Amino acid sequence: MENHGGDLRRVVVIGGGIAGSLVAKSLQFFANVTLIDPKEYLEIPYGRLRSMVEPSFAERSVINHSEYFTNGRLITSPAVDINESEVLVADGRHVVFDYLVVATGRDFPLPKTRAHRLDQYRAENEKIRGANSILIIGGGPVGVELAGEIATDFSDKRITVVHGGERLVEFMGPKASDKALKWLTSKKVDVKLDRTVVVDDMSDETKSFRTSTGEIISADAHFVCTGIPLASSWLRKTILDSNLDSHGRLMVDGYLRVKGRKKIFAIGDITDIREMKQGESAKRQAKVATKNMKMLMVGKDESKMESYRSGAGAGATASVSLGRKQAVAQLPFTTIKGILPAFLKSRDLFVGNTRKHLGLHPTLLHN
């Protein structure tokens, strides 16, 4: 059993995505922080698709934890169990906590090292460059943004998007969906709605694809951009099993604590908070959870803690990039497409802003 506490409270953060990384960074000089993550780096997820068409972009969006997390302990092994006072890690370590933050996000398989991840992006880029025709399976934000990135940088490619829903980017309103469809169509992207592609027997060598309507689509390369499951199945074997809802999400109270548990917080995609699961939500949750833990650590009354206000509702702000110079943004009272929302998102995809939140320069890389 490991107890690296001293006089400081022991905080264990499970998950090194946006939410978990910001908590670890923010508390590292206030508490004794251990960050548990299977990989050595944070990947800013909204930089992924740009990195596929421009691998050098990943140099800024894939950040070793050691760059911003300089005063804590990093364990690069997955957590496998939780009890009332400690986390069991796959490498056999038992890590004691006074406060725990679960921020494991989605189950997106990633390599352990930053160098390997950058190699993956170079390989994806070669796959795109070597293909004359590309099939994108899924018309949610990932599929639409990937189609936009490829259509902008490789206008000679024949791109097909197949989506099972009645409209694209269904997490946004119908106006945003319509604007995204019109933009893709203007770029000669063939969008096929209300149908799916059988993905079970697919490999990188597959060149012919059958849709649920019986249509055969030929493509030199394909990308599966359907929903990524939550990384919560491992919690079924822990004390938090009873705190998961039917969708595998951790149920939290207004202060972002797991319901009924005073010392365990949950943030990011894994929570049952009703809102668009985007990077800005993760940042706001990390800020509130950090503030509340600090209050508890210094003995403040629970009533002084800050409640998290979700950005739920049909009028909530959201945006989807359409290549480098265009975007669709859904604002509280209107939906707009064009250069203005692109100026806010597409140019940099909020990567520089997130780097600043981590205390890093938005553009200059750490040597």
Tell which wins on pLDDT, 261 or 280: 261
Q: Are 124 and 214 in contact (CB under 8 A)?
A: no
Say yes or no: 126 and 87 in one domain.
Answer: no
Q: Does residue 313 carry a pLDDT above 50? A: no
| Average pLDDT score over residue span 223-237 | 93
Q: What is the pLDDT of residue 366?
A: 61
Quick one: 218 and 174 in the same domain? yes
Residues 146-178: tens digit of each pLDDT: 999 999 999 999 999 999 999 999 988 899 999
Residues 284 and 323 placed together within one structural domain of the fold? no
pLDDT in tens, 114-143: 999 999 999 999 999 999 999 999 999 999
Residue 114 has a pLDDT of 98
- pLDDT (0 to 100) of residue 125: 97
276 and 336 housed in the same domain: no
The predicted pLDDT at position 348 comes to: 76
Q: Is 196 helix (H, G, I), strand (E, B) or coil?
A: coil
CATH number at 93 reads 3.50.50.60
How high is the pLDDT of residue 314? 40
pLDDT 10s digits, 179-221: 999 999 999 999 999 999 988 777 778 899 999 999 999 999 9
Residues 132, 164 within the same domain: yes
Are residues 149 and 87 part of one domain? no
Reading the block at residue 315, the tokens are: 């009028």
Whether 184 is in a domain gets the answer: yes
Q: pLDDT tier at 18 (50, 70, 90 boundaries)?
A: very high
Residue 20 neighbours by CB under 8 Å, 6+ apart: 13, 14, 35, 37, 101, 103, 104, 105, 267, 268, 286
Residue pointed to by tokens 């490999």: 203
With 50 as the cut, is the pLDDT of residue 5 above it?
A: no
Task: Tell me how far apart the alpha carbons of residues 352 and 360 are, in angstroms, rounded to a whole number.
Answer: 9
pLDDT digits over 48-107, tens only? 999 999 999 999 999 999 999 999 999 999 999 999 999 999 999 999 999 999 999 999
Q: Which residues, in sequence order, are bridge partners of residue 73?
A: 34
Read off the pLDDT band of 254 (50, 70, 90).
very high
More confident residue, 301 or 249: 249
- Going by the DSSP 8-state scheme, the letter that residue 304 receives in this structure is G
Q: Indicate which CATH number applies to the domain containing 338.
A: 3.50.50.100
Range of the domain at 201: 114-227+315-346
Mean pLDDT calculated for residue range 255-264: 97
Q: In this structure, is residue 204 part of a structural domain?
A: yes
Average pLDDT, the chain: 91
Q: Which amino acid, one-letter code, is at 288?
A: V
User: Are 209 and 320 found together in one domain?
Assistant: yes
Lowest mean pLDDT among 104-118, 215-229, 305-319: 305-319
Q: Are residues 61 and 184 in the same domain?
A: no
Q: Compute the chain's Rg from CA coordinates.
A: 21
